[in-house]
Amino acid sequence: MLVLLVESDANLSWLWSRQLERAGCRVLCAQDADGATACLREAEIGVVILSLALGEGDALAVADFAAYRRPEAKIIPITSRRFFSDGSVFGMIPNVAMSVNAHTAPEDLAAIVTHYGAAD
């Protein structure tokens, strides 16, 4: 399964991608909306891990583009805020699998990704 990891923090991106690779995923990393949309144009992405720390406008632009270009891809938004604790993210992004807190352990994130990526 090919995973697109969209995270502006290079250290966090490296940590998460290593754990995903150990779980058997192939990982592409993007640090901004432009890089993410380029990956979505070029590759058959199965799961998008999308950091909402990119900024609400950029993160939603990536999610919208993913819904258009890769409607089969599951999106897992990651946030460190309680803003989406009410479930509103499911109404804003059509192919959200679930929302995850930024402090989720890397091995738990990998388990979530492999679960939702294998669901189809």
Q: What is the pLDDT of residue 59?
A: 87
CATH code for the domain of 53: 3.40.50.2300
Please give the tally of structural domains in the chain.
1
pTM: 0.88
- With bands split at pLDDT 50, 70 and 90, how would you rate the model's confidence at 66? very high
Question: Do 69 and 43 contact (CB within 8 A), yes or no?
Answer: no
Measured CA angle at 71 (ends 55, 43), to 5 deg: 80
Nearest to 33 by CA among 13, 1, 8: 8
Average pLDDT over residues 88-98: 66
Range of the domain at 43: 2-117
Query: What percentage of the chain reaches a pLDDT higher than 70?
Result: 85
Average pLDDT over residues 69-92: 72
- With bands split at pLDDT 50, 70 and 90, how would you rate the model's confidence at 103? confident
